[in-house]
A and B are shown apart, each in its own frame.
Chain A
Amino acid sequence: MSTIIYAQNYSLMELMAAAIAREFRDQETAFVGVGPPLIAAMVAKLTDAPNLTIAVEGGTIGSSPRRLLTCIADTTICERAYSCGTMWRNFGDQQRGFYDVGVIGGAQIDKYGNVNATALGDYNRPSVRVAGSGGANDIGSSVGRYSVMMRQEKRRFVERVDYLTVPGYLDGGDARIKAGLPGGGPHGVITTMGIFRFDEESGEMYLDKCHPGITPEKVKENVGWDLKMAPSIGTTEPPTQEQVEIMRVLDPYGLYLGSGREGMGDVEKGFDFYMEVLDKSYDAMTELFRQKGL
């Protein structure tokens, strides 16, 4: 075993993406949603989980692209895939039990890991409306286990979500099983401040790890209920040098993990910049995949 070399310089998003990457294991099939989880899954594949298969809602299974993924159904996701089929069939495979792990995001989460991805406030006249379930409800219902990526804010970590889009452990205990949900439920919550897990009996969320420089008290201030703590709170493992290098190859302009979108929004130069992004990431990723024998 070679020694693990941790990165000295990394951003919060890179720390979170590395933590998400560690939620995947080799030889698993992952149902992955849009955004940073896509990068995290690719990082996992290029490090500890070379046989991780990525399935997405568009209908593709096992894509292994050499460009940055921008969506769960962009042209890139077809690149070097095992299979391109239908949306309902992939969700059916998940309901049948083929998919081990999922990652979703949300606008609000509660102490039993229920996620709101629909509306804040009154559903019929929301104060903030967001996208809606998409596949999140299905992932939460059926995948083997799933993790949630969240911004740590008191208004987002609430006793009970305003709208329950994705079932966590519902009211706790065996409520999930009684409801008839086939999937295993939430496994972790990775936030801007720490990592949370769930009590196996009660289904209640507890703080397991704090990111470097963050105290449990600070986390507690940003949670809207009386948060339970692990007997001993660890520190989140920083990203390794390799993980960070891979992220910067995957997303050289920081489209997900930095400020890359700003460069593209420029009316004059945006398009040339974008063409450069597509080509640059392609050559670098091709090289990376070759090095990894993938």
Chain B
Amino acid sequence: MKKLSKPAVNKVTTLKEAVNRFVHDGSYVSFGGIGDRTPTAAVHEVARQQKKGLRLASDTSVSYVHDSILIGLGLVESFEIAYNWGGIWGPDAVYRRALEKGIPKPIKLEEYSNFAMGMRLLAGSLGIPFMPVKSLLGSDIPVHNTRIKFMNDPYGGEPVALVPAANPEVAFIHVQRCDVMGNAHILGHLGNDDSLARAARNVVITTEEIVPTDEIRRNPNLTVIPYYCVDAVVKVPFASHGRGCPYYYSMDVPFGLQLAEQWGTEAGFNRWAEEWIFKVDDWDGYCRKIGWERLTRLAEVERRHQQYGEAR
């Protein structure tokens, strides 16, 4: 078996190169983050490279910056998911069209709850085949997802639901700071990214900043992902734009509301994708299109309200 741990070397590369190297047609991919710290730049690059037949797995996906982009482009074969919606930006018309009408193509759905997805990734990160949970019992979720099994606790007899380990082939995780070999600090809530980094075969970290290893060593408790999980490190400031990144920049609600309106029709979504994904070369091009002034204001407003290490 190929060695799982990755070397302690400089892994800095570009997103174009990382996506090209690790994502293939039919790959089993997971994009991390939850609500914020979404690896949106990576989602856009996968879309730009038109990787097809993808099998996606997420706990909670915020549609507009996450999995629904790939669903709307017809690049997704199957979707393991607990929650896919637009949050405060509103309902996700792309997801609705795919599931209600098979537009642009039907996707195979495998639904869980958030806790169940978290436990699947935890099992994957521990190298064990499944986890028992006290969720899902009595609901219709296992009726339509037969990978969820039941058993009675062999010690006490109580019923439990079993969920299978998830081991994605590729994970994209966005973090605030990281050194060149991939030791990654995450500030704020973690979602399930600590498990995802260990469960996945290959891990691409996008980061707001690349910092010296000594800076990592000064705050080792903040290292959620150690370098040996990581294959590639890419510096991508504002990679979660649309949503926010704790202590770095706030959510761009007006952008999301306009985006949600554009996604309302299939033609509107396609126009949006053409304009924001295919007509820009990379995330830097996207940022220039959004405007650095706007991005700077989102960063300033976040820092005005909270800075790491302070409680105001």
| Genuine A/B complex | yes
Q: Is the CB of A127 within 8 A of B100?
A: yes
Complex Cα–Cα for A94 and B247 (A): 27
Contact check: which of B84, B138, B247 meets A175 at CB < 8 Å? B138
How near does chain A come to B34, taking the closest CB pair, in angstroms?
A: 5
B13 CB within 8 Å of chain A? no
Which of the 9-residue segments B204-212, B254-262, B264-272 touches chain A? B254-262
Q: Is the CB of A87 within 8 A of B114?
A: yes
Complex interface bits, A82-120 against B, C-beta within 8 A gives 1, otherwise 0? 001111100110110000000000000000000000110
A-chain residues with CB within 8 Å of residue B121 when the two chains form the complex: 88
Known interface pairs A73-B34, A129-B95, A137-B141. Does A95 touch B135 (Cβ–Cβ under 8 Å)?
A: yes
Q: Which 10 A-B pairs have the closest CB atoms?
A: A73-B35, A88-B118, A134-B83, A131-B85, A270-B254, A180-B159, A59-B189, A91-B115, A179-B138, A58-B189
Contact check: which of B144, B297, B301, B306 meets A123 at CB < 8 Å? B144
B-chain residues with CB within 8 Å of residue A125 when the two chains form the complex: 100
Q: Is the CB of B254 within 8 A of A58?
A: no
Which of A66, A87, A179, A261 gathers the greatest number of chain B CB atoms within 10 Å? A87
Contact check: which of A84, A91, A165, A273 meets B118 at CB < 8 Å? A91
B-chain residues with CB within 8 Å of residue A85 when the two chains form the complex: 189-190
B57 CB within 8 Å of chain A? no
Which of the 9-residue segments B15-23, B47-55, B191-199, B280-288 touches chain A? B191-199
Q: Is the CB of B158 within 8 A of A70?
A: no
Contact check: which of B84, B85, B114, B190 meets A91 at CB < 8 Å? B114
B59 CB within 8 Å of chain A? yes
Known interface pairs A87-B190, A265-B261, A279-B304. Does A130 touch B85 (Cβ–Cβ under 8 Å)?
A: yes
Complex interface bits, B140-153 against A, C-beta within 8 A gives 1, otherwise 0? 11001000000000
Can you pick out 12 interface pairs between chain A and chain B where the beta carbons lie within 8 Å of each other? A58-B35, A58-B191, A71-B35, A84-B188, A87-B115, A127-B100, A128-B100, A131-B85, A132-B81, A137-B115, A270-B254, A275-B301
Contact check: which of A76, A92, A132, A181 meets B83 at CB < 8 Å? A132
B-chain residues with CB within 8 Å of residue A118 when the two chains form the complex: 111, 140
Known interface pairs A87-B190, A137-B136. Does A71 touch B251 (Cβ–Cβ under 8 Å)?
A: yes
A-chain residues with CB within 8 Å of residue B116 when the two chains form the complex: 137-138
Complex Cα–Cα for A114 and B199 (A): 34
B60 CB within 8 Å of chain A? yes
Q: Is the CB of A278 within 8 A of B190?
A: no
Name the CB-closest residue of B to A69: B88
A34 CB within 8 Å of chain B? yes
Q: Is the CB of B254 within 8 A of A165?
A: no
Complex interface bits, A157-180 against B, C-beta within 8 A gives 1, otherwise 0? 000000111110010000110011
B-chain residues with CB within 8 Å of residue A165 when the two chains form the complex: 139-141
Known interface pairs A88-B115, A255-B88. Does A77 touch B100 (Cβ–Cβ under 8 Å)?
A: no
Known interface pairs A74-B243, A75-B245. Does A87 touch B134 (Cβ–Cβ under 8 Å)?
A: no
B-chain residues with CB within 8 Å of residue A131 when the two chains form the complex: 83-85, 92
Name the CB-closest residue of B to A132: B83
A-chain residues with CB within 8 Å of residue B159 when the two chains form the complex: 179-180
Complex interface bits, B78-113 against A, C-beta within 8 A gives 1, otherwise 0? 000111110110011001100110000000000111
Complex Cα–Cα for A74 and B312 (A): 18
B9 CB within 8 Å of chain A? no
B253 CB within 8 Å of chain A? yes
Task: Write the residues of chain A forming the contact surface with B, with a CB cutoff of 8 angstroms.
Answer: 34, 56-60, 66-67, 70-80, 84-88, 91-92, 94-95, 118-119, 123-138, 141-142, 163-167, 170, 175-176, 179-182, 255, 261, 264-267, 270-271, 273-275, 278-279, 282, 286
Q: Is the CB of A75 within 8 A of B36?
A: yes
Q: Tell me if B's interface is mostly helix, strand, loop or mixed.
A: mixed
Complex Cα–Cα for A84 and B311 (A): 14
Contact check: which of A59, A75, A94, A274 meets B306 at CB < 8 Å? A75
Which of A88, A264, A275, A279 gathers the greatest number of chain B CB atoms within 10 Å? A88
A-chain residues with CB within 8 Å of residue B100 when the two chains form the complex: 125-129
Complex Cα–Cα for A76 and B189 (A): 11
Complex Cα–Cα for A131 and B245 (A): 23
How near does chain B come to A168, taking the closest CB pair, in angstroms?
A: 9
B8 CB within 8 Å of chain A? no
How near does chain A come to B14, taking the closest CB pair, in angstroms?
A: 27
Name the CB-closest residue of B to A115: B139
Complex Cα–Cα for A274 and B254 (A): 7
Complex Cα–Cα for A282 and B92 (A): 29
Q: Is the CB of A167 within 8 A of B36?
A: no
Complex Cα–Cα for A72 and B251 (A): 13
Q: Is the CB of A84 within 8 A of B190?
A: yes
Q: Is the CB of A270 within 8 A of B258?
A: yes
Name the CB-closest residue of A to B81: A132
Known interface pairs A60-B189, A271-B294. Does A282 touch B305 (Cβ–Cβ under 8 Å)?
A: yes
A-chain residues with CB within 8 Å of residue B305 when the two chains form the complex: 66-67, 76, 79, 278, 282
A-chain residues with CB within 8 Å of residue B194 when the two chains form the complex: 86
Known interface pairs A75-B36, A91-B115, A278-B301. Does A264 touch B195 (Cβ–Cβ under 8 Å)?
A: no
Name the CB-closest residue of A to B157: A180
B-chain residues with CB within 8 Å of residue A138 when the two chains form the complex: 113-116, 135
Name the CB-closest residue of B to A273: B254
B-chain residues with CB within 8 Å of residue A170 when the two chains form the complex: 138
Known interface pairs A57-B34, A87-B192, A279-B304. Does A264 touch B138 (Cβ–Cβ under 8 Å)?
A: no
Known interface pairs A88-B119, A95-B115. Does A164 touch B139 (Cβ–Cβ under 8 Å)?
A: yes
Task: Please name 9 further chain A to chain B contacts, defined as beta carbons within 8 Å, in addition to the given A60-B189, A66-B305, sorted by A numbering.
Answer: A34-B87, A71-B36, A75-B246, A85-B190, A123-B144, A141-B135, A164-B138, A164-B140, A282-B305
